[in-house]
Amino acid sequence: MEKMLDPRLLRSFIAIADAGSFTQAAERLNMTQSTISQQLARLEDAVGQSLVDRDTRPIQPTAAGERLLGYARRILALQHEAETALGDPAGTAPVRIGVPEDIVNSQMAEVFGGFAKNNRAARLDVTAGLSRDLARRYRAGEFDIVVVKEAVAEPDCRASFPEPLAWFESADRQSDWTDPVPLVAFPPGGLYREAMFERIEREQRRWYIAFSGSSLRNVLIGVEAGLGLSLLPKSAVAGRHVQPYAAFGAEPSMAVSIYAWEKTGSIAELAERITAVLAARFRASQ
């Protein structure tokens, strides 16, 4: 049964059925008449049935041959489709990028789109996550490019930009918060979370986690709902129903840094374009 699916035998059978002649089929496939006859015989042995009526002129498929003919054409069409797909390099070279959730905006998406258009072989694998985990995975070689938020940029960063931070509360809040102060925070490991704890303890205020959100969107929703205070990037609150909590005053900026292993080539060019988007973003937030 395995030989029945041999594309070479199926191609000879289709040629004979279409031409109605062993001679013409052999000419179409550029082989001898004896070879094409042998291939048909091998296929008939595999299926255990005669596939063409050799006594008719032109040669016609038997009932079994008619049943097989449609399957044979589909098998060869699928084979051609598979060969074409495997011969196309599109999407075969992964480019692994790690970014914090709020970094991917429309401008960054345009950069990704332009890179993909000009590099058909590339497949962009973008992972969003917490900066500390992204940094660890980059150092382990899991990413080609990574953007992270950190207290201080490492010496091997390609570029680093200050991200202004501030405390925010619901725009509906009219009175001050009483002790203990409810906080809206990211999960453990988030940089803003630890900075929040350090600052509020310097203020000698008692606190508790009233709401924890796994994404920036969820944290913003918690703040908008009046569940508590949160330390957030100023650039992330545009258009949100929140207001600055002036009682805590200014907060040190966080560094947003980009790292890339390659210094030349297409991945290095992509890192440069990402850097340009970050530079424009943080100029606008100053």
Q: Are 156 and 162 in contact (CB under 8 A)?
A: no
Residue range 228-254: mean pLDDT, rounded:
89
Q: Is residue 179 exposed (0-12), middle (13-18) or buried (19+ Cβ within 10 Å)?
A: exposed
* Sign of the torsion angle spanned by Cα atoms 200, 201, 205, 211: positive
The reported pTM is: 0.65
Take residue 167 and report the two structure tokens written for it.
Answer: 């405390």
Q: What is the CATH topology of the domain spanning 3-87?
A: Arc Repressor Mutant, subunit A (1.10.10)
Least confident of 5-14, 80-89, 143-152, 180-189: 80-89
Q: Shortest CA distance to 271 belongs to which of 284, 283, 258?
A: 258
pLDDT digits (tens, 9 = 90+) for 98-128: 998 888 888 999 999 999 888 888 889 999 8
Q: What is the CATH topology of the domain spanning 93-161+255-284?
A: D-Maltodextrin-Binding Protein; domain 2 (3.40.190)
pLDDT digits (tens, 9 = 90+) for 58-86: 999 999 999 999 899 998 888 888 877 77
Distance CA 283, CA 286 (A): 6
Whether the per-residue pLDDT at 220 is higher than 90: the answer is: yes
Q: Scan for tokens 């210094």, then name that residue.
A: 263
Q: Which CATH class is domain 162-251?
A: alpha beta
* In the chain, % of residues over pLDDT 90: 51
Beta strands 122-128 and 93-99: pairing type? parallel
List where CATH 3.40.190.10 sits in the chain.
93-161+255-284, 162-251
List where CATH 1.10.10.10 sits in the chain.
3-87
* Three-state secondary-structure class, residue 171: coil
